[in-house]
Amino acid sequence: MSAPRPYAVNMKMHIGGATMAACLILLTGCASTQAATSAPSPTATPTPTPTATVAQYASIITENEQEWRDYEENIGACAFASIGTTATDFAKRMTCRFTAQTVTLTAKTAAREIRKLPAPPAEISTLVKRTLTSLDTIAKNDASTACKDTESAACDAAETQANGDIRTLVPILDAWKPYTR
């Protein structure tokens, strides 16, 4: 046999070296692919939905509760004043009409303030819904416009409506007692 030619030896070395380099590349590629697939993928953490505190809701109720209760307690006295003819009856009637206007405005304001808060805690979510339903009913009464003429039939109707609507709110105020005391 003839002696290997230097060119052939070099060629074998180049092929061997190329093969080895290719294997290393493949192994490195496999290792990095395997490492990438076996590493835990970061999971997105959900951002919590903001929740208001019970105290935030209760403070809105507490702010208006006494006025709403006083109005409801005086409905009978206001009814008698509306049929009276004395100056005292007239003064009481005017006070009742202005109080009806105030109650409708505070109901509207309280409903708006409650809606500005984030979601209520689960323990009061049903109570908040009931409260808003009642406040919205009272707030729809446009007594302030109807009573520009305090002696008008429109003002009488607005006051009568407010008298009925406030009665749905009082039991709800009672349900708030554990949170407002």
Q: Over the stretch 131-147, which tens digit does the pLDDT of each residue have? A: 999 999 999 999 999 99
How far from 142 is each of 106, 110, 118, 165, CA to CA, in Å?
12, 16, 28, 13
Question: Smallest Cα–Cα separation from 72: which of 111, 99, 112, 107?
Answer: 99
Question: Smallest Cα–Cα separation from 69: which of 170, 171, 161, 178?
Answer: 170
How many domains does the structure of the chain reveal?
Answer: 1
Measured CA to CA, the distance from residue 180 to residue 60 in angstroms comes to 9
The chain-wide mean pLDDT, for the chain, equals 82
Q: Which of 3-12, 78-87, 114-123 has the lowest mean pLDDT?
A: 3-12
Cα dihedral: 7, 11, 12, 15 (round 10): 180
In a domain, 168, yes or no: yes
In this predicted structure, what is the pLDDT of residue 84? Answer: 77
Structural domain for 86, as ranges: 54-180
In a domain, 17, yes or no: no
Q: Which two tokens stand for residue 88?
A: 């005292």
Asked whether the beta carbons of 170 and 69 are under 8 A apart, the reply is yes
Q: What is the pTM of this model?
A: 0.70
In this predicted structure, what is the pLDDT of residue 11? Answer: 47
In a domain, 21, yes or no: no
In a domain, 32, yes or no: no
User: Helix or strand or coil: residue 51?
Assistant: strand
Asked if pLDDT for residue 21 goes beyond 60, the answer is no
